[in-house]
Structure 1
Amino acid sequence: MATIYEVSALAGVSLSSVSRVLNDHEHVSEKTKKKVMAAMAELEYRPNSVARSLASSRSDSIGVLVSELHGPFFGDMLSSIELALRNAGKHAVITAGHSDEESEKEGLDFLIDRNCDALILLVDAMSDDDLITLSRKKIPFVILNRNIPEIRGNCFYLDNELGGYLAAKHLIECGHKDIAYISGPLSKQDSTERFTGHKKALIEAKIPFNKALFYEGDYLTQSGRDGINDFIKNKVLFTAVACANDEMASGAMRGARDNNIDIPSDCSIIGFDNAYFTEYLFPQLSTINNPIKAMAKMSTQWILKNVYKQKDLDIKNLFSPELIKRESVVKVLAGIKK
């Protein structure tokens, strides 16, 4: 296989000139370009990423560090990032930190050592201070699903508090007052914000918050099921359940059926995220749309604009949730659901 050095020798130009041609650099004469292209054709040379980076000091790779890999939320996010980067001629290098501080820092070091041009981070365990310190270093990065005021311009995030509010408000407007809540881990920013929004809607409707109707889950399906079982074990009355994500909502639906609770006749359930499977549950799950695909794509546009200097890219940092009404929530009139 021919090398860039052989192309340089045959074309009679410097190695850096070959690299500039490979990177389509604007400061390359047409004469030099023709020589290099002719030599490449004669040698059947196929440029690799190392050769392309000689002049640009770019690897054309973006490091992506996420807290987890499982579940539709992360699948949608990663597929959106990979597609947007591939369409721009870039590649994603992906690793997971598993919501553990040491593992997230190891993943960060791994990506930096791989000479990634920029980083996309969705991390839970690393502190705000760690990320603010990282912002003072040379490597560009963006943060998904988290808002740190000191570096807000690098953050792409949902108004989670509004999302939690919209979910609870919908249940309240349907006549529910005994509303259970299954949260995600309260150590995570998005989870605490959704819970804050939920309580805000209760306060607005003058419905007292009942601690017995609260269960802290872990965003996984089983914890939704466990939450329902916990409410039933404690013999607490509820006519509706708001869940902090759709996976827990699907688990809650299973837990309800395990206890002969019909959905939505006996209990309304609403989720959060609008994962692809929500339309295939029975009944179809009411939920809050979380535009993670658009958010993930926007993070790549920030990189394309600020790292690769692509023009005419508008950047939006804050995204809004949207209520998706389906069949799992029904109205209550005079204590009877309709």
Structure 2
Amino acid sequence: MDKKNITIKEVAEYANVSQATVSRVINGQSSVKEANLVKVHEAIAKLGYTPNPAAKALATSRSNSIGMLVGSLDGPFYGPLMHAAEDEIYKLGLHLIVTSGQDSEQKELESLHFLRAKQVEGVIVHADRITDEALRNLSNDFKHFVLLNRHIPELENHCLYLDNELGGYLATKHLLDFGHKAIGCITGPMNKHDARDRLLGYIRALAEHGVSYDPNLTIEGRFDHFDNFDKAKTLLERAPDITAVFCQNDNIALAVYDACYELGRTVGKDISIVGFDNDFMSRHMRPRLTTVGFPISEMGKIAGKMIIDQVKGQDRVTNQKLMPTLEVHDSVARIG
């Protein structure tokens, strides 16, 4: 007999029980007589029957998986985030199903509907475009729910986020402390919460040091690589007196390095740069980039633990706000 094609029917016939009894045994239901339980397990072992995971999920209304929505499936941010979350989830014997919103509200919504249809045990959500109201409503569609990098008061115990405003403040304050006043800022997309919060931190640090916010020194960039080089050149040519630039992530900082080289400005000497994220790429930039540390892997790990705690019925209130740190290297020069 081909063990690869053993069916529930054959197990039932071998054990001399009904197919419904075999199904209940496979799905761990307790309403099976001990004698029949023994016979079914003996039949499974003898025949080499392996339950079909999809069929088992359908029978139990469980998928043995956790869903995760992220902005993109590549890049130095989402890769470590997904990897760390998956490591924690796998410890409980569950699998991670990942989908991306691709910077589109429609795709984010479609992704969450897809995960709901897959009957995932819970979902970890990193969404930029879906409104707070929609997320509050969508959270009720899932048994377990964790929201990343967003803070919605009504979902307080399900939010895990970085203090992005503090990160923007630390970056700008460092430049101010080194004597800079004409400080440019290249933001991420302003439809993203973290970009807006980092800009608020930049503005707060300027105000505390008596420096007026000048919109002419700010330009909107992107968190990925696309178009940042042109935006950096535009800013530096539009405001040639800039002595420093706060870049809202390290991708942007890399583009500014390139623009400075083309414009004949030396990073760490006649122009200073601070990035954000402290991703693996920044460690290979020369001069070494001073950057705000974002504990990306830690966020993924905590998110995995949070969703697992919920699945296990051990959901508990913890400190869900992560703190950024300033990683000082060689890209900032003292002036004045």
TM-score using structure 1 length: 0.89
Distance (whole Å) between structure 2 residues aligned to residue 80 and residue 329 of structure 1: 32
1:68 alignment counterpart: 72
Distance (whole Å) between structure 2 residues aligned to residue 297 and residue 30 of structure 1: 41
Tell me which amino acid in the other structure corresponds to 2:245: V
Among 310, 330, 333, which residue is 2:333 paired with?
330
2:206 alignment counterpart: 202
Q: Is the 1:19–1:51 contact (alpha carbons within 8 Å) kept by the matching residues of 2? A: no
> 1:9–1:299: structure 2 CA closer, same or farther, 3 Å change rule?
farther
> Following TM superposition, by how much is the alpha carbon of 1:225 offset from its aligned partner in structure 2, in angstroms?
2.0
Distance (whole Å) between structure 2 residues aligned to residue 54 and residue 103 of structure 1: 26
> Following TM superposition, by how much is the alpha carbon of 1:331 offset from its aligned partner in structure 2, in angstroms?
2.1
When the two structures are aligned, how many residues end up with a matched partner?
A: 332
> Relative CO higher for 1 or 2, CA cutoff 8 Å, sep ≥ 6?
2
Cα RMSD for the two superposed structures: 2.5
1:136 alignment counterpart: 140
Q: Does 1:238 align with 2:251?
A: no
> Following TM superposition, by how much is the alpha carbon of 1:62 offset from its aligned partner in structure 2, in angstroms?
1.5
Distance (whole Å) between structure 2 residues aligned to residue 90 and residue 172 of structure 1: 48
Among 87, 96, 120, which residue is 1:116 paired with?
120
Q: Secondary structure at the match of 1:271?
A: strand
1:319 alignment counterpart: 322
Q: Does 1:291 align with 2:320?
A: no
> Following TM superposition, by how much is the alpha carbon of 1:21 offset from its aligned partner in structure 2, in angstroms?
5.4
Q: Secondary structure at the match of 1:88?
A: coil
Q: Does 1:149 align with 2:153?
A: yes
Distance (whole Å) between structure 2 residues aligned to residue 236 and residue 204 of structure 1: 24
Q: Is the 1:217–1:224 contact (alpha carbons within 8 Å) kept by the matching residues of 2? A: yes
Distance (whole Å) between structure 2 residues aligned to residue 109 and residue 125 of structure 1: 15
> Following TM superposition, by how much is the alpha carbon of 1:217 offset from its aligned partner in structure 2, in angstroms?
0.7
Among 266, 269, 277, which residue is 2:270 paired with?
266
> 1:305–1:235: structure 2 CA closer, same or farther, 3 Å change rule?
closer
Matches within 5 A, 1:8-19: 8-12=12-16, 18=22
> Following TM superposition, by how much is the alpha carbon of 1:223 offset from its aligned partner in structure 2, in angstroms?
3.9
Q: Secondary structure at the match of 1:284?
A: coil
Distance (whole Å) between structure 2 residues aligned to residue 291 and residue 26 of structure 1: 44
Distance (whole Å) between structure 1 residues aligned to residue 312 and residue 21 of structure 2: 20
Q: Secondary structure at the match of 1:287?
A: strand
Segment drifting more, 225-234 vs 201-210:
225-234
Q: Is the 2:116–2:142 contact (alpha carbons within 8 Å) kept by the matching residues of 1? A: no
Q: Is the 1:4–1:51 contact (alpha carbons within 8 Å) kept by the matching residues of 2? A: no
Distance (whole Å) between structure 2 residues aligned to residue 112 and residue 215 of structure 1: 38
Q: Secondary structure at the match of 1:65?
A: strand
Distance (whole Å) between structure 2 residues aligned to residue 163 and residue 105 of structure 1: 29
TM-score using structure 2 length: 0.89
Distance (whole Å) between structure 2 residues aligned to residue 238 and residue 163 of structure 1: 21
Task: State the Cα deviation string for residues 294-324 of structure 1 (Å, max 9, x = none).
Answer: 2122222222122243x59874421111111
> Following TM superposition, by how much is the alpha carbon of 1:226 offset from its aligned partner in structure 2, in angstroms?
2.4
> 1:138–1:63: structure 2 CA closer, same or farther, 3 Å change rule?
closer
Tell me which amino acid in the other structure corresponds to 1:149: P
> 1:127–1:313: structure 2 CA closer, same or farther, 3 Å change rule?
closer
> 1:215–1:41: structure 2 CA closer, same or farther, 3 Å change rule?
same
Tell me which amino acid in the other structure corresponds to 1:57: S
> Following TM superposition, by how much is the alpha carbon of 1:176 offset from its aligned partner in structure 2, in angstroms?
1.5
1:93 alignment counterpart: 97
Q: Secondary structure at the match of 1:196?
A: helix
> Following TM superposition, by how much is the alpha carbon of 1:46 offset from its aligned partner in structure 2, in angstroms?
2.1
Unmatched 5+ residue regions in structure 2?
A: none
Q: Secondary structure at the match of 2:72?
A: coil
> Following TM superposition, by how much is the alpha carbon of 1:253 offset from its aligned partner in structure 2, in angstroms?
0.9
Q: Does 1:229 align with 2:227?
A: no
> 1:294–1:129: structure 2 CA closer, same or farther, 3 Å change rule?
same
Segment drifting more, 139-148 vs 266-275:
139-148
Distance (whole Å) between structure 1 residues aligned to residue 110 and residue 156 of structure 2: 24
> Following TM superposition, by how much is the alpha carbon of 1:242 offset from its aligned partner in structure 2, in angstroms?
0.6
> Following TM superposition, by how much is the alpha carbon of 1:30 offset from its aligned partner in structure 2, in angstroms?
7.4
> Following TM superposition, by how much is the alpha carbon of 1:23 offset from its aligned partner in structure 2, in angstroms?
5.8
Tell me which amino acid in the other structure corresponds to 2:334: K
Q: Secondary structure at the match of 1:119?
A: strand
> Following TM superposition, by how much is the alpha carbon of 1:224 offset from its aligned partner in structure 2, in angstroms?
3.4
> Following TM superposition, by how much is the alpha carbon of 1:199 offset from its aligned partner in structure 2, in angstroms?
0.9
1:80 alignment counterpart: 84
Distance (whole Å) between structure 2 residues aligned to residue 164 and residue 296 of structure 1: 22
Q: Secondary structure at the match of 1:293?
A: helix
Q: Secondary structure at the match of 1:142?
A: strand
